[in-house]
Amino acid sequence: MSLVSSMLTTIKRVNCDKVHEVPEKFKHAIVGLNDEMGELNEVLKRALYYGDPIDDDNVLEEYGDMMYYIILDCMRIAQNKKMSEEQVFATIFSINSAKLKVRYPEHFSEAQATESGRNLDAEKKAMTQNLERLDYHPDPPKKKSTSDMYEEICESSLVGRTVIVYDRYHFALPLRGKIEDVAGNDGAYKVLFYDGQHGDPNYHSMDHTYFFAQQCEVLDDAEPEPRVLQIETEEVVDDG
């Protein structure tokens, strides 16, 4: 049997054509990193063997592309471990630092850089201990729902408080009223305006009754209210 035939026989015996499912983000990240690394190898080859100057702008671009793929897979890891992306990055730097401190306790050494010179068990232990010290949050803070925001606003006793509305688009002057309701979707206030002459609460004659919090000044009702110009209504006399 020839050498080639022997090799083919061996490959057929040990080769596995089965492909297992792997996460899409992981596949995308690894393929992308290899592609970008190939482009950096081209830069290195041309500088090393052809004497071409290193194009730092191009190198930075490739580094940026590599960071994109690293972050892409960090998003997957963050979801699996119930961590934030920031925590994943902190973990990467932390365990790498712990490993290098064990490998090079004083300074770099070629002897300690080789596989035979490394204490792999000590490095693994340092990384594991470092992971255990990290402040993970198994249940990261969830975004507040609309109902939660509404309840918080209501619990802060905003409903019923006196408010000054500054809305130049709808009013020429600031108007005073009371907060009757709060729209949780955007934190807007539904204002019940005071009548300009009598101070009795009633709806102002307009459809626009909700105002953003940024347009409103909520007053402390226990303190004197600031002087606010009111829209005076002109009494129309019917001479019959």
For residue 65, is pLDDT > 90?
yes
Q: Look at residue 233 in the predicted model and tell me its pLDDT.
A: 42
pLDDT tens-digit readout, 93-122: 888 888 888 888 888 888 888 878 888 888
pLDDT tens-digit readout, 153-209: 554 567 788 888 877 666 667 778 888 777 654 567 777 776 544 344 444 444 446
CB 126 within 8 A of CB 98: yes
Confidence of residue 24 (pLDDT cuts 50, 70, 90): very high
Mean pLDDT of 132-148: 54
Mean predicted lDDT score pLDDT of the chain: 75
35 Cβ contact list (under 8 Å, min separation 6)? none
More confident call, 130 vs 36:
36
For residue 50, is pLDDT > 90?
yes
For residue 88, is pLDDT > 60?
yes
Q: Look at residue 101 in the predicted model and tell me its pLDDT.
A: 87
Task: Give the N- to C-terminal CA distance of the chain in Å, as an integer.
Answer: 125
CB 155 within 8 A of CB 139: no
Q: Look at residue 53 in the predicted model and tell me its pLDDT.
A: 96
More confident call, 200 vs 33:
33
Percent of the chain with pLDDT over 70: 70
Percent of the chain with pLDDT over 90: 22
The string of DSSP codes covering 56-100 is HHHHHHHHHHHHHHHHHHHHHHHHHHT--HHHHHHHHHHHHHHHH
29 Cβ contact list (under 8 Å, min separation 6)? 69, 70, 72, 73
pTM of full prediction above 0.85: no
Q: Look at residue 232 in the predicted model and tell me its pLDDT.
A: 44
Euclidean distance between CA atoms 114 and 121, whole angstroms: 15
Q: Which of 121, 129, 215 shows the shortest CA–CA distance to 177?
A: 215
H helix count then E strand count, the chain: 7, 5
Structure letter (DSSP) for residue 225: P
203 Cβ contact list (under 8 Å, min separation 6)? 192, 193, 209
Domains and CATH numbers, the chain: 21-133 (no CATH), 146-218 (2.30.30)
The string of DSSP codes covering 7-52 is HHHHHHHH---------HHHHHHHHHHHHHHHHHHHHHHHHHHS-P
